[in-house]
Amino acid sequence: MPRLSALDMPDVPKAQLPPHLEQQRTRVSCKSDAPLHTEGIQYSGAYASMGVDNSLRLDSFSKNFRVEVVRLTEDEIEFDMIGIDASLANAFRRILIAELPTMAIEKVLIANNTSVVQDEVLAQRLGLIPIEADPRLFEYVSENDTAHEKNTIVFKLDVRCKKDDGRIKAKSSELKWLPGGSELQMASTNSNPSTNPNAKPKTYTSFNCRQDSLPEFSHKPLRPKYGDITIAVLGAGQAIDLEVHAVKGVGRTHAKWSPVATAWYRMLPEVVLTQEVEDGKAEELVSKCPVNVFDIEDIGEGRKKAVVARPRACTLCRECIREKHWEECVDLRRVRDHFIFTIESTGALPPEVLFTEAVKILEQKCERIIAELS
């Protein structure tokens, strides 16, 4: 009898995992009680005994990695990211939410507020208004910095409800851009008024030039992204007169700087009928699904069977496998390296730009680490 190595099994195909292991490696399966195999296998030698290399290689990654844009509107993008690990997909999501800078109102100088909305509440509301300004054109304001045209946008809000107007709404469209900087004068200027009576009165900003004279803003005035956001409701005789200063910041400090309403991803659902589901059962299955994943197909002779028509719509509510024995027919899985990524922009930057910016930030971070390590 020839001596055979235990690893040398001719009936086991080389460099290929048996289907159940392959499924375990690439899919998360969702059972009616809980999902199974949620953790990916990172160890490169996990399948070495079977001659399968589990390591992640740059060349194979760049060969397999794909991005497919599914939907792109003015403020929303949905795209598929295929061939990437969850950790990286999540890194993008985190950067999008917390680390991508935007411009948001940080300072509110209230000259007059006789509305019922309290000053601090009004300020908080103003802060959340998204501003259509490319944050890449601005600098961060550091601690001892003065406000200048490169780091601050100034708006003015002056609404007044006349005595016989009934009630009016102060909308965000009434925020007027002041390209020349603040118009409010500092109170303590009278300390030495005699020195230079002709000098410009000191205001809360020190702009060197008007912002609209700069080429990047001249063609497009800065304004709130949406004009129909209610800031306050004014009753008869009430008025609001204030000035706001928007600066650059990131979502980690305050949610108002977050460029996205939200950014999230989900793994591609995969719905597999492991058995033929026919006739009455098929109709039952179709009616079970609240998002219409299944369709009915005629297979002749008046018989019908269920097919998976729209697996992408599946929300993994597991309604179809909740009842007994259904789990044997329907297998719900998610593809481990296929992410359906959605970004909802608040408007400062278009969503596709947001993602590329996020990639840049990740790149910078990586470079920083490499620099630190070397």
Partner 1 sequence: MAVPDEDDTSKRIPSPVSMKSLAAPVKSAVDKYQLLPEFLKVRGLVKQHLDSFNYFINCEIKKIIHAKDNERIVSDINPKIYLKFLDIYVESPSVEEDHIREPLIPQRCRLSDTTYAAPVKVDIEYTRGNPIQTEIKKGHVIANMPIMLRSRRCVLYGMDDDELARLGECPLDPGGYFIVKGTEKVLMIQEQLSKNRIIIDTDKKGRVSASVTSSTHERKSKTVIVMEKERIYLQLNQFTKLIPIMVIMKAMGMESDQEVVQMVGRDPRYSGLLLPSIQECASERIYTQYQALEFLEKKVVKSRFTNQKVHQGDFYPKCIYVGVMLRRMLEAILNADTIDDKDYVGNKRLELSGQLISLLFEDLFKTMSSAAKKSIDEALTKASRSSSMDISLHLKKDWITHGLERAISTGNWDVKRFKMNRKGMTQVVSRLSFIAALGHMTRIQPQFEKSRKVSGPRALQPSQWGMLCPCDTPEGEACGLVKNLALMTHVTTDEEESPLITLCYSLGVEDMSLLSAEELHSVNSYLVMFNGLILGKHRLPQRFANGMRKLRRAGKIGEFVSVFVNEKQRCVYLASDGGRVCRPLVIADKGVSRIKEHHMKELRDGARVFDDFLREGLIEYLDVNEENNALIALYEGEADSKTTHIEIEPFTILGVCAGLIPYPHHNQSPRNTYQLCRMDTLLYLLVYPQRPLLTTKSIELVGYDKLGAGQNATVAVMSYSGYDIEDAIVMNKSSLDRGFGRCIVMKKVSAVKQAYDRIIMPKMSSGKGGLDSHMQILDTDGIASPGEIVRPLDILINKQSATVSRDQLISHKVLPDSAYKFTPVKHKGTEGETTVVDRVALFTDKDQNMVIKFMIRHTRRPEVGDKFSSRHGQKGVCGTIVQQEDFPFSERGICPDLIMNPHGFPSRMTIGKMIELLGGKAGVSCGRFHYGSAFGEPSGHADRVEVIRYHRVSSPSVYIHGTYLLPKAKTYGLRLGEMERDCLIAYGASMLIFERLMISSDPFKAQVCRKCGLLGYYHHSLKTGFCSMCKSGENVSTMKLPYACKLLFQELQAMNIVPRLQLTEH
- Residues 179 and 187: their CA atoms lie apart, in Å, by 22
φ, ψ for residue 209 (rounded to 5)?
-150, 170
Member of 262, 287, 356, 364 binding partner 1 (CB under 8 A): 262
Site string for partner 1, 149-188 (x = CB under 8 A): ---------------------------------------x
Residue 252: CB minimum distance to partner 1, A: 6
Q: Does 342 bind partner 1 (CB under 8 A)?
A: yes
Would you say 118 or 356 has its CB closer to partner 1? 118
Q: Does 362 bind partner 1 (CB under 8 A)?
A: no
Q: Does 287 bind partner 1 (CB under 8 A)?
A: no
Q: Does 63 bind partner 1 (CB under 8 A)?
A: no
Q: Does 111 bind partner 1 (CB under 8 A)?
A: no
Query: Which helix (H) or strand (E) covers residue 224, if one does?
Result: strand 223-224
Would you say 315 or 356 has its CB closer to partner 1? 315
3-state SS assignment for residue 320:
helix
Give the strand pairing for 304-308 and 131-132: unpaired
Q: Does 323 bind partner 1 (CB under 8 A)?
A: no
Residue 53: CB minimum distance to partner 1, A: 33
Q: Which stretch binds partner 1 (CB under 8 A): 46-54, 139-147, 220-228, 262-270?
A: 262-270
Long-range contact list for 145-150, CB < 8 A, 24+ apart? 146/205, 146/206, 147/181, 147/182, 147/204, 147/205, 147/206, 147/207, 147/245, 147/247, 148/205, 148/206, 148/207, 148/208, 149/181, 149/207, 149/208, 149/209, 149/210, 149/211, 149/214
What's the Rg (C-alpha) of the chain? Answer: 30
- Residues 338 and 89: their CA atoms lie apart, in Å, by 10
Residue 333: CB minimum distance to partner 1, A: 14
Q: Does 38 bind partner 1 (CB under 8 A)?
A: no
Pick from 7, 5, 83: nearest CA to 48: 7
Would you say 88 or 316 has its CB closer to partner 1? 316
Residue found under tokens 């760049």: 62
Q: Which stretch binds partner 1 (CB under 8 A): 15-23, 40-48, 94-102, 195-203?
A: 94-102
Member of 118, 185, 274, 356 binding partner 1 (CB under 8 A): 118
Would you say 52 or 86 has its CB closer to partner 1? 86
Q: Does 12 bind partner 1 (CB under 8 A)?
A: no
- Residues 79 and 68: their CA atoms lie apart, in Å, by 5
Q: Does 336 bind partner 1 (CB under 8 A)?
A: no
Would you say 41 or 111 has its CB closer to partner 1? 111
Within positions 236 to 255, which residues make up the interface with partner 1, using CB under 8 A?
Answer: 251-252, 254-255
Member of 137, 264, 307, 319 binding partner 1 (CB under 8 A): 264
Helices (H), 248-310: 279-288
Query: Cβ of 82: how many Cβ atoms within 10 Å?
Result: 16
Spell out the residues 6+ positions from residue 336 whose beta carbon is closer than 8 angstroms to its own.
25, 26, 27, 28, 40, 86, 267
Within positions 189 to 218, which residues make up the interface with partner 1, using CB under 8 A?
Answer: 190-191
3-state SS assignment for residue 331:
strand
3-state SS assignment for residue 345:
strand
Would you say 130 or 179 has its CB closer to partner 1? 130
Strands (E) across 258-310 are located at 260-273, 294-298, 304-308
Q: Does 316 bind partner 1 (CB under 8 A)?
A: yes
Where on the chain is the footprint of partner 1 (CB under 8 A)? 93-94, 97-98, 110, 113, 118-121, 124-125, 128, 188, 190-191, 251-252, 254-256, 258, 262-264, 266, 315-316, 342, 344
